[in-house]
């Protein structure tokens, strides 16, 4: 990701963290029988901090149980991720997985779960550039819905719009559509007009516009 893209994405997450996090309850009402697992990859510490402070209160408020992992340089959390997914899909009817990472192959970790447990994965969202290419692969694994991005992107901007919409209605097509519209609005508004002097805005939007794959409605 180019430097200005990373800075802009971090700014969006920071605004969401500082402006909205206080409105999120830190406990209940939880949806019984539902769990979430999220992992943040090894990126600069301030990005990890903003991501965690935006994500954790929302997961804590929405789910009966959640797991959140942060990786570090030279410290992958693949074993812990698998253990969390194994436990979650054994004990909860609906499990959502948030892959807050650059290009990755976490799909190979999910593949190790038994078929009947993978079927309890209701939603997988992956922020990685080009993650949409894995959509058919996720569908073959039998999960409910997968959301990914076609290429280089400002996925954090989409994420801060998508997550609360998903948690509110659990309607993947609606959440993806509305979040895409919001991100398109600011990319082609004042902020985007300034940024367009330094990069190809159309190409960036093409890489950012999230795609939805579904085996079944949630």
Q: Could you report the per-residue pLDDT of 103-114, keeping only the tens digit for each?
A: 899 999 999 999
**pLDDT band, very low/low/confident/very high, at 29 (cuts 50, 70, 90):** low
pLDDT of residue 189: 86
Q: Is residue 218 part of a domain?
A: no
Strand ordering across the sheet containing 94-100: 63-70, 31-40, 94-100, 121-126, 145-148, 211-214
Q: In this predicted model, which residue has the larger pLDDT, 146 or 190?
A: 146
Q: Give the separation between CA 23 and CA 169, rounded to whole angstroms.
A: 17
pTM confidence score? 0.87
pLDDT of residue 62: 96
Q: Is the pLDDT of residue 147 over 90?
A: yes
pLDDT of residue 15: 43
Could you give the angle at the alpha carbon of 80 between the alpha carbons of 76 and 82, nearest 5°? 105
Query: Structural domain tally of the chain?
Result: 1
Which has the closest alpha carbon to 117: 95, 146, 145?
A: 95
Q: Is residue 25 part of a domain?
A: no
Q: Is residue 84 part of a domain?
A: yes
Q: Give the separation between CA 152 and CA 1, rounded to whole angstroms.
A: 7
For residue 122, the enclosing domain spans 3-16+33-211
Q: Give the separation between CA 39 and CA 51, rounded to whole angstroms.
A: 10
Q: Is residue 26 part of a domain?
A: no
Chain-centroid distance, C-alpha 201: 22
pLDDT of residue 32: 87
**What percentage of the chain reaches a pLDDT higher than 70?**
81
- Cite the DSSP H helix spans in the chain: 3-20, 45-62, 78-91, 107-111, 115-118, 135-140, 155-169, 172-187, 190-195, 201-208
**CATH number of the domain where residue 93 is located:** 3.40.50
Cα-based distances in Å from 210 to 74, 128, 176 = 30, 11, 7
pLDDT of residue 190: 67
């Amino acid at each position: 990701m180019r430097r200005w893209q990373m800075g802009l994405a971090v700014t969006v997450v920071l605004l969401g963290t500082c402006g909205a996090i206080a409105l999120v309850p830190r406990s209940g009402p939880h949806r019984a029988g539902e769990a979430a697992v999220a992992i943040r990859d090894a990126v600069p510490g301030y990005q990890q901090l903003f991501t965690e402070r935006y994500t954790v209160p929302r997961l804590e408020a929405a789910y009966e149980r959640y797991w959140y992992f942060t990786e570090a340089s030279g410290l992958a959390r693949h074993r812990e991720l698998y253990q969390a997914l194994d436990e979650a899909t054994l004990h909860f009817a609906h499990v959502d997985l948030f892959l807050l990472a650059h290009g990755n192959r976490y799909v190979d970790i999910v593949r190790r779960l038994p078929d009947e447990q993978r079927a309890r994965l209701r939603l997988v969202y992956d922020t990685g550039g080009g993650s949409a290419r894995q959509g058919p692969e996720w569908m073959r694994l039998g999960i409910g819905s997968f959301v990914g991005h076609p290429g280089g992107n400002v996925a954090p901007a989409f994420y801060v719009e998508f997550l609360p919409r998903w948690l509110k209605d659990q309607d993947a097509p609606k959440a993806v559509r509305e979040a895409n519209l919001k991100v398109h609005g600011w990319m082609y508004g004042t902020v985007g007009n300034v940024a367009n002097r330094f990069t190809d805005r159309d190409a960036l939007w093409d890489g950012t516009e999230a795609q939805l794959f579904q085996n079944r409605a949630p």
